[in-house]
Structure 1
Amino acid sequence: MKKILLAGLMSCLFMGSASAKNLETDVALGMASLMFCTTFYSENDMQIEGAIVGQSMTAHRNAGIEEMVMSKATSDLLDEHMLKYNSANKEQKINLCEHAIKFARESDFVEANAS
C-alpha cells in the first residue's frame, strides 16, 4: 500500500507538457521529502509534523508543481534520494523528515508560483 501511495504521489513530478516550466532540483527533492514524510509521520502517529508536511505538500501541488517537468539530472538525483530514504532506519528517517519540515517552512515555490 505504501509503495502504491508513493508511486502515485511521485507521478505528479514526472508529468508535464513541452511548454511547462522546469522543476528545480531542490524543489523536486523537497517535494519528494514531503511525500515520504507525510506517510512516515502518519505511520508513526506524529500528527503535528504530519500536518506541517501535508499542508506544504498540498500547497505545492496547488501552486502548479504537477505541471512542471524535470531534467534527467534532477530525475537521477530524485532516484538517489528515494533510495536513501527507503534504505534508512527510523532514526535516519526522522532526520530526513526534519529536512522536509525545514523545506516546508522555507520554500518560496508556493509564493512564486501562486496566481
Structure 2
Amino acid sequence: MSNYTATGRLHEMYDTQQVSEKFSKREFVIEIKEGQYPEHIKFQLVQDKTALIDGFRIGDEITVNFNLRGRGFVKNNDTLYFTNLEAWKIEGNKTGQRAGGAAPQKAAPIKSDDDNDLPF
C-alpha cells in the first residue's frame, strides 16, 4: 500500500503487547482537529518499531508516517476483516529535545475582572 501521513497531538499511548512468541505490537492514538469535531486515530507499531513512540509525551505534536494494512480472518465460517494503520516513522519534538533546548512552560491563566473579590 501507499505511504500516508497524519499530523496531530499525541492523545494516548499503550504498553507493548507480546501477542505471540514472534509478534509484538504497541498502539497509540493521535487527535486531529479538522472540522467541527476532533478525530481520534489509533495507530499500531509492530516488532522492532514499538520503541518509536518512546520519548514522546501526551500532548506532543507529531507526524506519523504509516501504511494501510488489511487482512481477512475466517472464524466459524464467517470472514472477518481487520484494517490497521501501521506506523513506521514518527517525527516531532521528543520530550527534552524541544527547539531552543528548554521544555515548554505553562502559560499563566488569563484573569478577567470577574476573577477578583473587589466589591466594585
Is the structural similarity TM-score above 0.5?
Answer: no
Q: TM-score w.r.t. structure 2 length?
A: 0.25
Which structure is larger by alpha-carbon Rg, 1 or 2? 2
- Higher helix fraction: Structure 1 or Structure 2? 1
Q: Which has the higher contact order (CA 8 A, sep 6+)?
A: 1
TM-score with structure 1 setting the length: 0.25
Structure with the bigger percentage of strand: 2
